[in-house]
């Protein structure tokens, strides 16, 4: 029997055990499990890895606990600007969007860019015009509002900080979401979605919509979705680096992903983590922060869910 595997993350960062209640922990783990189950059903029925990662990320985008879609963090101007990407490992097709403000599930727009356009990355108003042309229904920007995110913005403005959504004095630990999958046809795929950084200015774009930085998939090696301080992941070309070390140096997915997260990013000063899944169904989920919301499910249907090391 061919392997089917799906892994997800809900962000890496300063997830403090002292501020984690049993109720909160259960809610976050339930959110991860729901995402895993939504993608796993597709894989189990013979569906594609691309459909599975899109479904898993959609589930996380619809959950206000995570910084993607509903519950995304605020920009300095009190708005939401969302980024997402998706990639399939079979033919290296990819789609991505940045700075969109009116669509509940940015990963859907990224998928349309991949499947229905001649481009890889569309941004801002152009991406929204394209989504409308494809029949997606827009939402008001207020759809993404949550009180906790608004409070985080006020704290960040008061302190003059531009912060990772999961960093800071309060329990601001929610992050970028992502998924990687291997289907019955041995095809890999990856998808990532985020609201970015609290109090971000000037149309800032992080690593999430940049193929090779925050997302990458190649059937020759692995699928990767990253989370953390995006500027460092861009400079490190983190997702592609995991692939490259596997492809050229013949490293394992565990060794390659650990080197990128625990050595290369640390030396640069970058905080975060990633999930990686190789072509044999082996999962690696390294992070250099206090914690990372993460989990995976295998063909047996068993979910393995974790937050801390």
Residues labelled as active-site residues = 176
Token pair in block for residue 229? 């301080």
Check: CB of residue 198 under 8 Å from CB of residue 153.
yes
Nearest to 181 by CA among 276, 264, 254: 276
């Amino acid at each position: 029997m061919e392997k089917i595997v799906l892994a997800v993350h809900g962000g890496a960062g300063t997830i403090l055990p002292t501020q984690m209640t049993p109720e909160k922990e259960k809610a976050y783990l339930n959110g991860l499990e729901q995402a895993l189950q939504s993608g796993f059903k597709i894989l189990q029925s013979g569906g594609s890895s691309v459909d599975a990662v899109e479904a898993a990320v959609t589930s996380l985008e619809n959950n206000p606990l995570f910084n993607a879609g509903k519950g995304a963090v605020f920009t300095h101007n009190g708005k939401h600007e969302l980024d997402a990407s998706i990639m399939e490992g079979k033919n290296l097709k990819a789609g991505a969007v940045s700075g969109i403000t009116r669509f509940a599930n940015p990963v859907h727009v990224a998928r349309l860019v991949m499947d229905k356009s001649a481009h890889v990355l569309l941004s801002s108003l152009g991406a929204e015009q394209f989504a409308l042309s494809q029949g997606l229904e827009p939402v008001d920007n207020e759809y993404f509002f949550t009180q906790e995110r608004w409070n985080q913005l006020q704290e960040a403005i008061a302190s003059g900080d531009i912060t990772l959504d999961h960093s800071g004095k309060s329990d601001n630990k929610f992050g970028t979401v992502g998924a990687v999958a291997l289907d019955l046809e041995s095809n890999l795929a990856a998808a990532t979605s985020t609201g970015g950084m609290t109090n971000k200015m000037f149309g800032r774009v992080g690593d999430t919509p940049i193929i090779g930085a925050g997302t990458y998939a190649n059937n020759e090696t692995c699928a990767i979705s990253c989370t953390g301080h995006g500027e460092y992941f861009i400079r490190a070309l983190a997702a592609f680096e995991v692939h490259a070390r596997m492809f050229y140096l013949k490293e394992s997915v565990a060794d390659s992903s650990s080197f990128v997260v625990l050595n290369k990013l640390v030396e640069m000063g970058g905080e975060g983590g990633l999930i990686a899944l190789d072509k044999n169904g082996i999962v690696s989920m390294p992070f250099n922060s206090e914690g990372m919301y993460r989990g995976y499910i295998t063909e047996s249907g068993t979910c393995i869910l974790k937050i801390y090391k």
